[in-house]
Chains A and B, each alone.
Chain A
Amino acid sequence: MATPGATLPRAADGTREIPHTVSPGLWTLAWRRLRADRVGMVSLVIVFAFVVMMILSGLGLVAKDWSREAGVNYAPPSFVGADVEAGTPAAPAAPESAVPAGEYKSSIVDPLADVIAELKGAKPAAAPAPSAPSEGKSVDPLADVMADIRASKGSGAAAPAPAEARAATLPFGGDKWGRDVIAKTIKGSETSIFVGIASALVATALGTLFGAVAGYYGRWVDDAFNWFYSVFNAIPYLLLVLAVAAVLQQKGMLTIILILGLTGWTGVFRLIRAEYLKHKSREYVQAADAIGASNARRMFVHIFPNVSHVVLVQLSILVVGFIKAEVILSFLGFGVPVDVVSWGSMLNEAQNELILGKWWQLVAATVAMATLVTAFSLFTDALRDALDPKLKGLKGH
């Protein structure tokens, strides 16, 4: 940030050097206002921490071995203590059985009991199915369901590797396979935050481009975009998501980014269109026309910097919305494939676990998501105030 009052000589090639102070531009002023906003700064630090965590995890520096089965199945959090009824946790008693038998006795209403029994019954005939999709890693959370299917066919299941020296408790508990919930949450953030930011970028870029073109050119261009928008908006959101998913024919991070990006641009479009409508008749744009600036130049060099704060705030709002959307879609099973961990798929797993009284995966994913979303929302508010100080004035002191 340029300090006001600092005198900078002009470039060395200059025929004359004029001592001058660098006037703070809009972004500098906004940053100063943001800096003064305590809540905004705290939120920014939290968001920043999450993003750093996501990047480190993506680089494999953190939570690299999240898929290692570090604890016993459903290892409780350390502060709760080992599950006594589950028997000696260090008992990898039955190497031929993936699931300690005692585990399920603790729960009275176990909807999966039948499945397990069947699974066990089928065990002797077990042979690794050649069609096992687990790509060398036995991390498939749906394994039990698939096992069920295979068991009914009598073909048996690919059981997780026998546990060796697995801990009885983990810092915040373990999941069904004994994987550390904290590591899993961190790994999940990679998907959730990346999907949120990437799809928000796609949606904002689309909305801004469409809005700019529609608002700037007006007339039939605007009409065409408005019809398109209205038709698009008339279809229920989830239906649209399903339709796009069906067209793309595959599950994956890229798919969900495209789904959210292609369906989420409408709000940005409305706002940016209105901004362009307002700005295109402003005198500074007419003045740009008068000096011979082309349409593209007027749209993106002249008007865009004047609406960029709206775009930025919309982007920020969309990131929050899309992190939540990814979680919901994954929870419903329309999201990332089962072998990719995200907060949504964690919540999906937690659905069944909750019946067993295993609450820690649910809490871990929820706390992580709620913290990020709250911090991001507060940051968005602070950002809006910083970019448009007039709004703050209206609220009074």
Chain B
Amino acid sequence: MRPESSKPAGEPLIQVRDLRVKFRLGGEATFEAVKGVSFDIPEDSTVALVGESGSGKSVTALAILGLLPPENSIVDPASRILFGGRNLVGLPARAMRDLRGADISMIFQEPMTSLNPVFTVGYQLTEVLRLHRGLSAAAARRRAVELLDEVGIPEPKRRIDAYPSQMSGGQQQRVMIAMAIACEPKLLIADEPTTALDVTIQKQILELIADLKRRHRMSVLFITHDLAVVGEIADHVVVMRQGEVREQGTAKAIFESPGDAYTKALLMCRPALDRRPMRLPVIDDFMGGRGPQHIEERARGLAASDSVILDVKDLGKSFQVREGLFGRREFKAVADVSFALRRGRTLGLVGESGSGKTTVGLTLMRLHQATTGQALFDGKDILSMSERAFMPYKRRIQIIFQNPYASLNPRFTVGQILTEPLAIHGIGANAQERTDHVFELLGKVGLPDVSFYKYPHEFSGGQRQRIAIARCLTLKPDILICDESVSALDVSVQAQVLNLLQDLQDEFGLSYLFISHDLAVVKYISDEVMVMNEGRVVEIADADTIYRNPREPYTQRLLSAIPKGWHAAA
């Protein structure tokens, strides 16, 4: 996957020198998103731009393509982006347009939104060819079929007339790649091309990009937040933070002897499959020069003495899908799911998109009505009881959603968000007592007292997830369902939130149902792991057992697709 670059060190394909980009914020105020970034993209090699959100990595890529919105962005005229002796900064729009697609092309994170849903993929593909290559309709179609074949779309002659909605996410991304390489560009910019995809699809796409790069002798600028992916494909790595380059070098140098504290932090924050420290290291440990704390291994797994808090039997959930005017079809999202959640333990629930793992969580909360099955909580079936009888149990099962930007009401202050559950359940004698309790909880999740008076939009993603966690804690639940609760967060923030969840479990003895597609995170936090596929349980076992000796072929396939990072490739 990483061919040794045998090419003599000649002129690099692209030289970025002192790139500075500002955004207008309205009025005179500006925000400097990229602060003097310089790096080279050599010919026939893969360069990875790595960083968390706000690092300026995507802005840098868009600047190379000249795709920054002209009305509110300013590229410093002194910055230079040299491509074949030409400076791309300040190039007229027309010249830039000719360059895009032909010499430099790009694939985006969300294939679903990058393809136009009302045209067939064939139309969109031939459009590129006819525009840039001037091919005839028939020739363009022939070439389009070849391209679809090359990116691994089965039956390309038939699929060329499919609409994007008739393809899976992975196939859509393949079509995007086909469009990007249609004109044999010298540089392919891939902006988080696999972030929205399942891990098995991610693996295929990464292999495809590496293969195409080798065959067409092009360079790839790969933008990602995921160092494990970088370790698998990159020759050179550029680490960015807050608009600046923290460190750059060959992949070997970056992974084996990182010089910068931030690079070290990024490498350590992410839960790895082979380590399980008591606490995950966080960025501050490194930036403060302290180094990671509490790195001794944490023991996981169930003990025979663990009592069962929630016993789920034959859980099923079907949706009625409307077909045509009157027709209906039953779609089974979840079928025959049985498991036991033990007190004070974490059950990890993994699966790819569409496996029904989120539906299981929502059904247990009664946010969806279960079609069949039982969930025994203290011996009582919470799925069949009346809404009124469920109220006291509702307090004891709480859920943390995936997206902390969507799960907090934007019109409520944090104080209102946190006091509301107390008022609804009549916890605390009066408003004063409730307020005091909320201040206590804010301290517990590591937020300052002033947060009480602020609105959610004034907080970062990680802080918002802390607010959501605090909201669950107000009700003193026994069970906490974490539905992809850390998936939308940056690596460093993810580590902090995972540490917080771990601390809370240690302190209050909470039981977690931890739902995630991220196998490394699940491995880190779980005592027991359940794998789901197409609405059914594939395998359920102790965390260490399942990762070491997966029994089912599906589990084996899933685990082998996890990006192993540098170590596996070295």
Instruction: Pick the interface stretch among B123-131, B275-283, B396-404.
Output: B396-404
Q: Is B421 a contact of A291 with CB atoms below 8 Å?
A: yes
Interface of chain B residues 437 through 453 with chain A (CB within 8 A): 439, 449-450, 452-453
Q: Is B420 a contact of A16 with CB atoms below 8 Å?
A: no
Interface centre among A13, A289, A291, A306 (most CB of B within 10 A): A291
- A22 nearest in chain B by CB position: B453
Chain A residues with CB under 8 Å of B425's CB are 291-292
Chain A residues with CB under 8 Å of B413's CB are 23
Within 8 Å by CB of A18, from B395, B452, B471, lies B452
Within 8 Å by CB of B406, from A284, A305, A397, lies A284
Chain A residues with CB under 8 Å of B395's CB are 292
Q: Is B450 a contact of A283 with CB atoms below 8 Å?
A: no
Q: Is B411 a contact of A306 with CB atoms below 8 Å?
A: yes
A42 at the interface (CB under 8 A from B): no
- B406 nearest in chain A by CB position: A283
Q: Is B410 a contact of A287 with CB atoms below 8 Å?
A: no
Chain B residues with CB under 8 Å of A35's CB are none
B468 at the interface (CB under 8 A from A): yes
A120 to chain B: closest CB distance in Å? 70
Interface centre among A13, A288, A297, A397 (most CB of B within 10 A): A288
The CA of A13 and the CA of B433, in the complex, are separated in Å by 12
Q: Is B475 a contact of A291 with CB atoms below 8 Å?
A: yes
The CA of A292 and the CA of B176, in the complex, are separated in Å by 44
Q: Mark B402-418, 1 if CB is under 8 A from A, else 0.
A: 11001111110100000
Within 8 Å by CB of B453, from A20, A293, A297, lies A20
B455 at the interface (CB under 8 A from A): yes
Chain A residues with CB under 8 Å of B549's CB are none
Chain B residues with CB under 8 Å of A284's CB are 406-410
- A288 nearest in chain B by CB position: B409
A21 at the interface (CB under 8 A from B): yes
Q: Is A283 a contact of B455 with CB atoms below 8 Å?
A: no
Q: Is B455 a contact of A15 with CB atoms below 8 Å?
A: no
B551 at the interface (CB under 8 A from A): no
Chain B residues with CB under 8 Å of A282's CB are 406
Q: Is B455 a contact of A23 with CB atoms below 8 Å?
A: yes
Chain A residues with CB under 8 Å of B402's CB are 283
- B424 nearest in chain A by CB position: A292
A311 to chain B: closest CB distance in Å? 13
Q: Is B436 a contact of A15 with CB atoms below 8 Å?
A: yes
Interface of chain B residues 1 through 33 with chain A (CB within 8 A): none
- B456 nearest in chain A by CB position: A284
Contact A23:B468 (CB < 8 A) given known A286-B367, A289-B367, A293-B420: no
Q: Is B450 a contact of A290 with CB atoms below 8 Å?
A: no
A123 at the interface (CB under 8 A from B): no
Q: Mark B199-212, 1 if CB is under 8 A from A, else 0.
A: 00000000000000
Interface of chain A residues 11 through 32 with chain B (CB within 8 A): 13-16, 18-23, 25-26
Q: Is A291 a contact of B420 with CB atoms below 8 Å?
A: yes
The CA of A293 and the CA of B391, in the complex, are separated in Å by 10
Chain A residues with CB under 8 Å of B399's CB are 286-287, 290
The CA of A26 and the CA of B455, in the complex, are separated in Å by 10
Q: Is A290 a contact of B394 with CB atoms below 8 Å?
A: yes
Chain A residues with CB under 8 Å of B71's CB are 396-397
Interface centre among A290, A297, A302, A396 (most CB of B within 10 A): A290
The CA of A39 and the CA of B180, in the complex, are separated in Å by 46
- A19 nearest in chain B by CB position: B450
Q: Mark A278-311, 1 if CB is under 8 A from B, else 0.
A: 0000111011111111000100001001100000
B297 at the interface (CB under 8 A from A): no
Q: Is A287 a contact of B407 with CB atoms below 8 Å?
A: yes
The CA of A340 and the CA of B395, in the complex, are separated in Å by 60
- A308 nearest in chain B by CB position: B411
- B24 nearest in chain A by CB position: A397
Interface of chain A residues 33 through 67 with chain B (CB within 8 A): none
Chain B residues with CB under 8 Å of A283's CB are 401-403, 406-407
- B365 nearest in chain A by CB position: A290
Q: Is A292 a contact of B406 with CB atoms below 8 Å?
A: no
B343 to chain A: closest CB distance in Å? 21
Q: Mark B17-59, 1 if CB is under 8 A from A, else 0.
A: 0000000000000000000000000000000000000000000
Q: Is B365 a contact of A306 with CB atoms below 8 Å?
A: no
The CA of A22 and the CA of B410, in the complex, are separated in Å by 16
Chain A residues with CB under 8 Å of B507's CB are none
The CA of A15 and the CA of B433, in the complex, are separated in Å by 10
The CA of A335 and the CA of B89, in the complex, are separated in Å by 66
The CA of A25 and the CA of B416, in the complex, are separated in Å by 13
A79 to chain B: closest CB distance in Å? 47
Within 8 Å by CB of B398, from A14, A25, A290, A305, lies A290
The CA of A14 and the CA of B362, in the complex, are separated in Å by 39
The CA of A283 and the CA of B421, in the complex, are separated in Å by 16
Q: Is B411 a contact of A20 with CB atoms below 8 Å?
A: no
Q: Is A20 a contact of B420 with CB atoms below 8 Å?
A: no
B567 at the interface (CB under 8 A from A): no
A394 to chain B: closest CB distance in Å? 11
Chain B residues with CB under 8 Å of A292's CB are 391, 394-395, 421, 424-425
Q: Is B432 a contact of A15 with CB atoms below 8 Å?
A: yes
The CA of A397 and the CA of B409, in the complex, are separated in Å by 31
The CA of A370 and the CA of B424, in the complex, are separated in Å by 51
Chain A residues with CB under 8 Å of B408's CB are 284, 287
The CA of A292 and the CA of B424, in the complex, are separated in Å by 7
Within 8 Å by CB of B468, from A26, A287, A297, lies A287
The CA of A22 and the CA of B452, in the complex, are separated in Å by 10
Given A286-B407, A287-B468, 18 other A-B contacts at CB below 8 A?
A14-B435, A18-B450, A20-B450, A21-B453, A23-B458, A283-B402, A283-B407, A284-B406, A284-B408, A284-B409, A286-B399, A287-B471, A288-B409, A290-B367, A291-B420, A292-B421, A297-B424, A306-B409
A residues adjacent to B (C-beta < 8 A): 13-16, 18-23, 25-26, 282-284, 286-293, 297, 302, 305-306, 396-397
Q: When A and B form their complex, which 3 residue pairs have the shortest distance between CB atoms, in order from nearest? A: A291-B421, A283-B407, A305-B411
Can you give 29 A-B contacts (C-beta < 8 A)? A14-B435, A18-B449, A18-B452, A20-B452, A22-B453, A23-B413, A23-B455, A26-B410, A26-B411, A283-B402, A283-B403, A283-B407, A286-B399, A286-B401, A287-B401, A287-B408, A288-B409, A290-B367, A290-B398, A291-B394, A291-B420, A291-B471, A292-B421, A292-B424, A293-B420, A293-B424, A302-B409, A305-B411, A396-B71
